């Protein structure tokens, strides 16, 4: 299979301009460089250069003890910090041969889904502001506030939660949490439905999104794209269903798909996934077992037996995986992160060829890529 070149090979002709979007540009959530060769308003070639905020996390992790790594996983992508904690802890639990308590499993599902909701809300918000619709961004941030408060009530922090632990979680639910959560989520459900209606019926918005930046299913699979951009192409691939972890086996939910693979579908998938996550959380709050939320003896100084493990999770942005090799010491021998945003970022330049300059913002934002995670 051939796909469009993602490198600008020749200097621009007299009728063309080489336009740098970045490393500083209002479009961007973080620094990256998008070189566009444009003729008039049409993009002829596109090239993405990353690495402006490379933090060398995987190498840093090799020099930290296992428990020291845990808070650092938050910083891979601050919008998905719960998922990152969880996937790391599940990998470590497999290495250590322990199992989280039942209540901890449910608590992790709860926080992961809350994390997904707030990430999707901000993702949609950033997208709408990139097509010039600031109002919806502010509505989304307003709605996100309630979810962030729910997360804060459990984890104690609003952004980098650092909640999961080896074999458990850090805190139990505060008293009266269920009522508080159901109230907030009930309101959110109504608001998200009305926003969905508003976006689906806005003719200017439809003009900007329908049929723009179409990613085909085969292209997406080839580039390793997962999560909402893949499901928007009609592929029913969701790790929660394909390879159920924690307690997703016991929960009832649908895998949201759309068929078109365009910008509109990607945003629609996120909107509907918020509703699905609310449904999951309602079940979790109903079925939450009593019992300890962590192991009686937390393994603080951990020396797992030599071995290796790969654990993965359905991140808000796609498939997040961590590969840990232990040599029996208290630090990992090798650590590798497979981030979802890297895959979606590399799908971007081929989509841009042939579109207009104005669509760059729409397509890039609809992929909901996270520069911090791309560069790690």
Partner 1 sequence: MGIFVDIYDAIMNFLIFFFSTWELAPWVRGIVGGAVIGGVFGGALVMVYLERKFLGDIQSRIGPNRVGGRFGLLQLIADAVKLFTKEDIIPANADKWLFIGAPIVALTSGFLMVAVIPFDLLVIKGNEYALAVSTMDVSILYLEAVSALAIFGIFMAGWGSGSKYSLLAGFRNIAKMIGYEVPLGITIISVAVMAHSLDIVEIVKAQSSIWFIIAQPMGFVVFGIALLADVGRIPFDQTEAEEELIAGWATEYSGMRWGLAFFAEYFHAVVGAIVVSLIFLGGWNGLPLIGNLWIPGIFWVIVKAIFVMMGMIWVRGALPRLRIDQVSDIGWKVLIPLAMLNLVWSTIIGLMWA
Q: Please, what is the minimum distance in Å from the beta carbon of residue 29 to partner 1?
A: 12
- Residue 204 or 242: which CB sits closer to partner 1? 204
- Which helix (H) or strand (E) covers residue 335, if one does? strand 332-338
- Residue 134 or 298: which CB sits closer to partner 1? 134
Find out whether the peptide bond into 162 is cis, omega within 30 degrees of 0: no
CA dihedral 240, 244, 250, 252 (to 10 degrees): 20
- Residue 95 or 136: which CB sits closer to partner 1? 136
Whole-angstrom Cα Rg for the chain: 21
Q: Please, what is the minimum distance in Å from the beta carbon of residue 263 to partner 1?
A: 12
Binding site for partner 1 (CB under 8 A): 17, 19, 25-27, 40-41, 128-135, 138-139, 142, 202, 204-205, 207-208, 356-361
Q: Please, what is the minimum distance in Å from the beta carbon of residue 138 to partner 1?
A: 4
- DSSP string covering 283-331, please? HHHHH---S-SS-SS---S--PPSEEEEEEEEETTEEEEEEEEE-SSSS
User: Strand 42-49 relative to strand 164-165: parallel, antiparallel, unpaired?
Assistant: unpaired
CA dihedral 60, 65, 71, 72 (to 10 degrees): 10
- Residue 34 or 345: which CB sits closer to partner 1? 34
Q: Please, what is the minimum distance in Å from the beta carbon of residue 109 to partner 1?
A: 31
Closest CA to 116 of 340, 288, 289: 340
- Residue 76 or 360: which CB sits closer to partner 1? 360
Q: Please, what is the minimum distance in Å from the beta carbon of residue 361 to partner 1?
A: 4
């Amino acid at each position: 299979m051939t796909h469009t070149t993602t490198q600008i090979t020749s200097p621009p002709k007299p009728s063309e301009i080489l336009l740098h979007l970045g490393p500083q540009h209002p479009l961007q959530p973080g620094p990256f460089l998008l070189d566009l060769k444009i003729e008039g308003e049409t993009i002829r070639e596109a090239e993405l250069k990353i690495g402006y905020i490379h933090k060398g996390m995987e190498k840093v992790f090799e020099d930290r003890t296992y428990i020291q790594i845990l808070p650092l996983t938050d910083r891979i992508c601050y919008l998905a910090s719960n998922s990152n904690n969880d996937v790391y802890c599940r990998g470590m639990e497999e290495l250590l041969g322990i199992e989280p308590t039942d209540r901890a499993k449910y608590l992790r599902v709860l926080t992961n889904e809350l994390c997904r909701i707030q990430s999707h809300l901000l993702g949609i918000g950033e997208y709408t502001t990139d097509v010039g619709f600031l109002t919806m961004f502010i509505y989304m941030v307003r709605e996100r506030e309630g979810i962030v408060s729910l997360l804060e009530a459990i984890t104690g922090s609003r952004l980098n939660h650092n909640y999961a632990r080896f074999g458990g979680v850090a805190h139990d639910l505060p008293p009266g949490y269920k009522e508080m959560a159901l109230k907030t989520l009930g309101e959110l459900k109504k608001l998200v439905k009305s926003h969905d209606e508003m976006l689906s019926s806005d003719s200017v918005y439809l003009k900007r999104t329908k049929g723009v930046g179409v990613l085909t299913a085969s292209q997406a699979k080839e580039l390793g794209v997962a999560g909402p951009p893949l499901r928007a192409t009609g592929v029913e691939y969701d790790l929660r269903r394909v390879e159920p972890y924690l307690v997703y086996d016991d929960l009832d939910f649908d895998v949201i798909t759309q068929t078109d693979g365009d910008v509109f579908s990607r945003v629609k998938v996120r909107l509907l996934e918020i509703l699905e996550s609310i449904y999951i959380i309602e079940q979790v709050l109903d079925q939450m077992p009593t019992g300890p939320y962590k192991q009686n003896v937390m393994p603080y100084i951990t020396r797992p037996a030599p071995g290796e493990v790969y654990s993965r999770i359905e991140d808000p942005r796609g498939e997040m995986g961590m590969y840990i090799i232990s040599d029996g010491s208290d630090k990992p021998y090798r650590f590798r992160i497979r981030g979802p945003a890297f895959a979606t970022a590399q799908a971007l330049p081929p989509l841009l060829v042939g579109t207009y300059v104005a669509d760059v913002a729409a397509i890039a934002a609809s992929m909901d890529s996270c520069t911090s995670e791309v560069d790690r």
